[in-house]
Structure 1
């Protein structure tokens, strides 16, 4: 019986063909520089179509100055103008996240309101993107991607960044504008 099972699996897996450049793994270097664990997988299902699933997690405990904890998941369909994993692509994406952030001056003072309060909540949305893959060698690529879209954000606002701060209010916010920027190192399986 064992020999029949082994032969069955050898025939089954021996008949499966692996196509070149159908699968890639990646890491967003910008998210990594912020101290978040992140990664993504991308699978090709045509000559010019891929689907990308990526995520980011920053579970670290707060310091005395600020709190910045979050997780983010994103799914994206990509259409490549020439061939998959090479050159330009256009995408459509959906995302969702949960966050607990405050007490930090982010993006050179653009979000000054984050400095004096803590915000805890979630968001969901989507948008369109453009990106480019620069081939470095047979397996390694560098990817740059930008996106604009809509995000529905629901959050609780607290009086100060401290975890024991008094709750002030619950609000929601509709955001439209730039909401995706990544610089990723990509490994393409051949």
Structure 2
């Protein structure tokens, strides 16, 4: 099995395990959220989460961006970041949380901030995050979250965004921001 198939299989197995075992835990709350920062960059995104104790919750954010930002710029991607959070006070309540998350992404980005190259590839890894929650009403919360992680990425570099031949290829391990979010949350 080649490396790409292994990555897809691992991602599929994680999502399937979450779905199969979701009825085995006694969840008290569910939530759905969207990252407003992500929407601002054209990323269509949704995150489902489930509390499985008074201090722990599981999360599955998914984002997809099929759009061109402008003539020479794009930030196309499909990204999944499953994770867990530990809430200092109470799950989904006012206060702080810390999180542990995985990252899997397929990307095609370039022409951003005057950059003349386009990069295409995959990335996977994990990271830690911290955040703050502020209730807006009984069913609505606002969350702020920042995260940093270690990601392995392979990429191919092309001369221009729209066309051009490949000018480089590589892979490596990078320490990079993995979460930047201002989430609007609806609680069930």
Query: TM bucket by the smaller chain?
Result: 0.7 to 0.9
Moved over 4 A (4+): none
Runs (5+) with no aligned partner, structure 1? 1-18, 106-111
- Asked if the contact 2:28–2:52 (Cα under 8 Å) also holds between the matched residues in 1, the reply is no
Q: 1:150-165 alignment to 2 at 5 Å?
A: 150-162=150-162, 164-165=163-164
Aligned to 1:5: none
| CA positional deviation for 1:145 | 0.7
- Compare 135-144 and 62-71 and name the one that shifted more: 62-71
Describe how 1:17-36 pairs up with structure 2 within 5 A: 22-36=29-43
Equivalent in 100, 106, 110 of residue 102 of structure 1: 110
* Cα drift, residue 143 of structure 1: 0.5
Structure number with larger C-alpha Rg: 1
1:48-102 CA distance string (max 9 Å, x none): 1100100110012575322321111011111111100011111110011011111
Q: Which residue of 2 aligns with 1:139?
A: 139
- TM-score, scaled relative to structure 1: 0.80
- Structure-2 separation of matches of 1:23 and 1:188: 6
Q: TM-score, normalised by structure 2?
A: 0.81
Compare the two structures and name the one with the higher helix fraction: 2
Root-mean-square deviation over aligned CA pairs: 1.8
